[in-house]
Chain A
Amino acid sequence: MLTQALADLRVLDLTHHISGPYGSKMLADYGANVLKVERPNGGDIGRNLGPFPDDIPHHEKSGLFLHLNTNKRGITLNLKTDIGKSILLKLVQTSDVLIENFKPSTLPSLGLSYDSLSQVNPEMILVSISNFGQTGPYRDYKASEAVLHGMGGNLRFLGAPDRAPTKYGTDLALRQAGIVSATATMVALFAKTVRGTGEHVDISIFETQAGSQDRRAPALMASQFVKTVFPRRTPGAIMATGIFPCKDGYINITAGGTRFELCLAMIGRIDLLEDSRFATPTARQDAANAAIFHDEYLLPWLMQRTMREVWSLAQEHHILSGPIFNAGDVMTDDHFGDRGMFVEVDHPVAGKVKMPGRPMIMSETPWALRRPAPTLGQHNHEVYVDELGFTSKELTELHNSGVV
């Protein structure tokens, strides 16, 4: 029988878009019984964001949504109605965790602050993810992936020094906050085991960036050391280090400093170690010498080889490296494919979709695909009638009055 570590957890999931759903997905994928609550009209905004099969928008076929919501059951509930709130409180009674990523003012304005929720179930943990946290002067500020990455994170280091720095190409800051929320949930569960009661977990995406998604923290320390800030790195300034073109693409190589000999061995020019321009760590630190090495020795060698050839040779010489693959390369790569990185999800409306599966392999309590992402309100009958004891007629009334 399949053993999943979190099968004993009941999670009430009020999240939407990316950060919260990614966090509750991690809990669900490792076994938690996650009940996703969506608003009746349209549901999670993620349903409206693509990609869609053949670019045809359909609220049950969003690739983003289908991936972020695997293994969750789904109901609809209008939290702005009194009946909706009372139903939510019923669900709170039997939940171990409630996870949400509304604006900090939303739950209190609905009369669902932590204090009122904890009166109903003092053992429940409330996990809140927000842009800037539940307190502080920026609490209600509007932000986005790029704004939070820019303020808290490493955005300013990405790119060349003579251009504007650039954001990540997908919503990594939001997803990182999602992972943080899954970890924080576990810590709060351990705390509950000790203390016996739940509590309110406050996750600020701004702070998860500052401490630190993309090595922001090392730069924070280094800047304090020398009371200055560091520029974006000039491409090609460090010998044998950077992204270089090759015959059919690009490869990222890190073979400077103490590792430089490895690079010379790879290109068959160990004799250059005698060359005063390349002989010492200090000479290698010189940007002009780096340019000479790249133009005269490294690039001509690289341009005769494909990125996969270079990568394989580099690894034979123990050189830190990696080619620049595109999405197609990744989805069709044998290494990842053979290791079972991708799964095929069979969804009642979207059909079969191949998507990324487990983030890690747990030997005794594995990742498992138990169910595809829910269609909007898919589990209304199961939850309202079978579990909460409403009659089918009452459910129809709830539906007609816009609660469900």
Chain B
Amino acid sequence: MAKLPLEGIRVIELTQIYAGPYATMNLADWGAEVIRVENITTMRPGTRGQYAVVPPDLAEQAKKENSMLLAFPNWDPGPRPWNRHAGFTSTGRNKKSVTIDLTKAEGHDLLGQLIKEADVFIENNVPQTMVKLDISYEWLKEIKPNIVMVRMPAYGLSGPYMNYRSLGLHVDGVTGLSEIKGHPDEPHSRRGDTVAPDAAAGMAAAFAILVALWHRNKSGDGQLIEMALAENYIPMLAEPLLEFEMTNRVPTTIGNLDKRRAPHGVYPCLGDDNWIVIAVSNNDEWIGLTKVMRKEQLQNDPRFVDSNARHANHAELDEIISDWSQQRDHRELLTIFQEHGVPGGPVLNELQLLEDPHLIERKYFETLDHQEMGPLMYHGPLWRMSKTPNALRTAPPLLGEHNEYVYKGLLGFDEEEYQRLAKEGHVGMDMLPTVP
């Protein structure tokens, strides 16, 4: 395969759960060498799973309750559950893993040696944690003056919320998305949440890193990028925020309705939890929909004669559509809708998505074999480039899989020193037995 565009860029990551790992996944996909710094002495909940040792009765219960958070291949955590975690698996491809115990003084020094060999260092921890680990931009710069450092706390490196602990789903509330999402007749406790801020910040961090490297290539200078999850998300919510600013009205949720157009919604279909999204935006599409439903008489119904009327009478219209859609297969409707010029498509669950004919035709999913999970399908790089053929290269790394490569290959340790580091608790491929 031809050289990938980011080959030669080395990224060291100290990232947790999703936002940070998603940023580096996008760099690794295009050729950057991404090395995860991990630790066999502590398990941060969420990144490689919740537990180093999954209590057997808990695993059993997860199977009974079909719980996604505790899903392992065949519901079996296996002896090393940290190598079989869905979240980690989804962002881990094309990366390497090294273990260093950063709580020890020597671990700090080892990280420093690694940073000397790096172009980019990225972390998404609460700022307090970085203080505790004594890792700062100033320190990095001493070791490697043109380093690009990315820090991704939830709320930034200053201000009253600086050390507040939040995941994407909490940021979703704090930035105002939760307020405008969900069925309007439900209390917030039943509207659910999203984790959209994580992938948004992850993708924006990948952008920022490349912008910083672009600058470094011209000027020779590195820099610090402060990517607060919440602050990257706020510009994405500009529309409701500006509605408040321009009208002094506080926007609330309108559920699956559109602000102006109708019908717009998520309608039930045949089977268990199958749905179709319909997003009609003009009269032609409306006429198309009446033809699909074989209810052409609705075209002359004064309640539905134009967009405003349909919007005003959407409750009645939604009921008519639901009565009809319940008898239909959601995936079959896609083609029929499109033949009639109606913007609509099925809500696909994960197994349906994996067998979607369009994605198969575009070879979107790629199979990688993993030592402890076997072959699995992974989504491909997020975009195609006509002259830069690309494919996934390696399965997600086992914990510490690249210790030899990093310690001996990159840092030049000999076997004796390597064994000593293993004894000291830096090098290993198993969580220490004391880790819960």
CB distance from A156 to the nearest CB of B (A): 5
Determine the distance from Cα of A244 to Cα of B169 in the docked complex, in whole angstroms: 14
B268 at the interface (CB under 8 A from A): yes
Residue contact A144 to B279, C-beta cutoff 8 Å:
yes
B237 at the interface (CB under 8 A from A): yes
Q: A180-B382, A183-B206, A183-B210 are in contact. Are A326 and B179 (CB under 8 A)?
A: yes
CB distance from B346 to the nearest CB of A (A): 6
Q: A158-B194, A359-B231, A365-B212 are in contact. Are A229 and B349 (CB under 8 A)?
A: yes
Q: Size class of A's contact patch?
A: 35 or more
B342 nearest in chain A by CB position:
A142
A292 at the interface (CB under 8 A from B): no
Residue contact B267 to A164, C-beta cutoff 8 Å:
yes
Residue contact A54 to B247, C-beta cutoff 8 Å:
yes
Q: A151-B346, A212-B379 are in contact. Are A133 and B226 (CB under 8 A)?
A: no
A401 at the interface (CB under 8 A from B): no
B89 nearest in chain A by CB position:
A221
Residue contact A158 to B182, C-beta cutoff 8 Å:
yes
CB distance from B265 to the nearest CB of A (A): 8
Q: Which of B176, B196, B241 contacts A172 (CB 8 A)?
A: B196
A357 nearest in chain B by CB position:
B235
A76 at the interface (CB under 8 A from B): no
Residue contact B188 to A250, C-beta cutoff 8 Å:
yes
Q: Which 5 A-B pairs have the closest CB atoms?
A: A322-B170, A169-B180, A63-B242, A211-B379, A186-B210
Residue contact A220 to B90, C-beta cutoff 8 Å:
yes
Q: Which of A190-198, A269-277, A384-392 contacts B (4 or more CB under 8 A)?
A: A190-198
A145 nearest in chain B by CB position:
B279
Residue contact B246 to A52, C-beta cutoff 8 Å:
yes
Residue contact A225 to B71, C-beta cutoff 8 Å:
yes
The interface on chain B, measured as residues whose beta carbon lies within 8 A of the other chain's beta carbons, has a size of: 166
Q: Which of B91, B170, B379 contacts A210 (CB 8 A)?
A: B379
Determine the distance from Cα of A380 to Cα of B166 in the docked complex, in whole angstroms: 47
A217 at the interface (CB under 8 A from B): yes
B122 at the interface (CB under 8 A from A): no
Determine the distance from Cα of A321 to Cα of B161 in the docked complex, in whole angstroms: 11
6 more A-B contacts (CB under 8 A) besides A188-B385, A203-B382? A183-B203, A194-B5, A218-B89, A280-B55, A315-B165, A321-B165
Q: Which of B95-103, B359-367, B420-428 contacts A (4 or more CB under 8 A)?
A: B359-367
Residue contact B160 to A335, C-beta cutoff 8 Å:
yes
Residue contact B160 to A150, C-beta cutoff 8 Å:
no
Interface of A: prevailing SS:
mixed
Q: Which of B214-222, B294-302, B303-311, B410-418 contacts A (4 or more CB under 8 A)?
A: B214-222
Residue contact A230 to B66, C-beta cutoff 8 Å:
yes
Determine the distance from Cα of A74 to Cα of B334 in the docked complex, in whole angstroms: 38
B352 nearest in chain A by CB position:
A229
In the bound complex, residues from chain A placing their C-beta under 8 Å from that of B167 are 254, 320
Q: A26-B207, A257-B50 are in contact. Are A330 and B383 (CB under 8 A)?
A: no
Residue contact A183 to B207, C-beta cutoff 8 Å:
yes
Residue contact B214 to A323, C-beta cutoff 8 Å:
no
Residue contact B86 to A218, C-beta cutoff 8 Å:
yes
Residue contact B387 to A197, C-beta cutoff 8 Å:
yes
Residue contact A242 to B388, C-beta cutoff 8 Å:
no
Q: Mark A115-145, 1 if CB is under 8 A from B, else 0.
A: 0000000000000000011011110011111
Q: A236-B189, A328-B250 are in contact. Are A221 and B348 (CB under 8 A)?
A: no
In the bound complex, residues from chain B placing their C-beta under 8 Å from that of A184 are 382-383, 385
A1 at the interface (CB under 8 A from B): no
In the bound complex, residues from chain A placing their C-beta under 8 Å from that of B186 are 159-160, 163
Residue contact A330 to B175, C-beta cutoff 8 Å:
yes
Residue contact B243 to A63, C-beta cutoff 8 Å:
yes
A309 at the interface (CB under 8 A from B): no
